[in-house]
Chain A
């Protein structure tokens, strides 16, 4: 087996006084599609930002191809980031330029290619996501699913080695969802990309992932191939997979006893 592209070791992260992660370790294997699942609000997006070094952990390390992304210089980090790309939940297309210019943007910024070659690459990438016909539209004219596909075309414009998908399925209708699932699977298999998919849509992701981590309560509560995860005997994992309302992940946000808070007997 090849070396993992991403190794996270004993990472802790807190925002202000609130601890988001205590002691997380995980590996992402090169060329595989790794899913990171967990309930909303536990900072799955934060994890991706930590990998992209937009945020710095309070302790522990994140290695990308063996390099610690948080200790290298800014110039080195920018070189490293060219090998990874990220698909944001909103798409994050630049609203002041057309779809075509959006996809061409990383090429124009990072390469010295002729406009002719850029045009060819851009149209190929748009063809791959099925939006070649929408090249001249403005981002505001696209539906949510199309915006995400356009953003995907932009994310693969520089042929990265790693793509991180932040909630790619959230808020999509079943058809767009199906299209995105197919695209993500096709891209990771055809281009031999390493993919990290952060999501809470269990069924979709279990159908395409090679390996799954489940995050909850600030740490990893389960990991394995989709088959292993489904067989897990952890109550937490089962609650998450089946979507039970109450269980180890409590229904209630931590609060004082209801009787105390209504009758004022606290303090």
Chain B
């Protein structure tokens, strides 16, 4: 009986959390078209986008280089090292670009968003905004939400471009794959809509989910040190799991059934 009660209560709590976070999301979405918010959004793009740029670029470079090295050692067995270009490009554009960017973003920017908003709540800044007749959803949540959703696909594009250049660096400049075949076979294989655009769509979906989780966790956290640290951890864990789960679903939808 006790077990059933607990199960029921935790289910009700989960459903309530989904409801509360949806209400928050709508509040943030509908607060967008206000001119003052554009500047705030730009400011937040600096925090979530520009400040994540370095880690994204370095990771992209190394992942591209590793992909080229791994791919080369396998492909060279079949004398097919000319296909290194499409291998690196496709795996980065379709999967690694959006997914790794989203995971890094969740760790770098998502956790920071949760902690920042949690602290604003703990220090009564959110209450204080409300008492000043300023809607915190509009003033605090909405700019961060839009900044995240705009920044992540841009970061993913940068990640992919740098990854492919990194693959070129290792494959062509170091291992001696012909530069012409690296690019031309890549160009013959990679399709704009199927590979690049789908990657960007994935990235936008991940951005929505990560930013939503991060903001909701911060907004609804228990305003104490333990509460904030728990919320920050949950942001990273939940975002990462959602990214990987959604990635499977999106991949199945986009590439699974032709």
Contacts and interface: CB of A to CB of B under 8 A. Distances in A.
A79 B134 CA distance: 10
B126 to A, nearest CB: 9
Contacts of B132: 81, 85, 105-106, 109
Contact of A81 (B119, B125, B133): B133
Contacts of A109: 132-134, 139
B124 interface: yes
B234 interface: no
Given A52-B130, A54-B130, A81-B130, A92 B135 contact: no
Nearest to A166: B124
For the complex of A and B, the 3 pairs showing the least CB-CB separation, nearest first, are A92-B128, A81-B133, A92-B124
A49 B139 CA distance: 20
Contacts of A54: 127, 130-131
Interface residues of B, number: 13
A250 B210 CA distance: 49
Interface in B115-174: 119, 123-125, 127-128, 130-135, 139
Contacts of B134: 106, 109-110
B131 A95 contact: no
A94 B127 contact: no
Contacts of A229: none
A13 B131 CA distance: 20
Interface in A75-92: 78-79, 81-82, 84-86, 88-90, 92
Contacts of A82: 133
B180 to A, nearest CB: 52
Contact of A92 (B123, B133, B139): B123
Contact of B133 (A49, A88, A93, A110): A110
Nearest to B139: A109
B125 to A, nearest CB: 5
A46 to B, nearest CB: 12
Interface in A35-91: 49, 52, 54, 78-79, 81-82, 84-86, 88-90
Given A78-B135, A95-B123, A88 B128 contact: yes
Contacts of B130: 52, 54, 81
Interface residues of A, number: 21
A106 B128 CA distance: 11
B118 to A, nearest CB: 13
A166 B132 CA distance: 15
A54 B121 CA distance: 13
A84 B132 CA distance: 8
B69 to A, nearest CB: 43
A52 B124 contact: no
A86 B133 contact: no
11 contacts: A52-B131, A54-B130, A85-B132, A89-B124, A92-B123, A92-B124, A92-B128, A95-B123, A95-B125, A109-B132, A109-B133
Contact of B123 (A49, A79, A90): A90
Given A88-B128, A92-B128, A78 B123 contact: no
Contacts of B119: 95
Contacts of A86: 127-128, 131
A49 B125 contact: no
Contact of A88 (B127, B135, B139): B127
A78 B124 contact: no
Nearest to B43: A96
Contacts of A85: 131-132
A78 B154 CA distance: 37
A106 B127 CA distance: 14
B133 A78 contact: yes
Contacts of A90: 123-124
A90 B120 CA distance: 11
Of B125, B127, B128, B134, chain A has the most CB atoms within 10 Å of the CB of: B128
A81 B131 contact: yes
Contacts of B135: 78
A169 to B, nearest CB: 17
Nearest to B130: A54
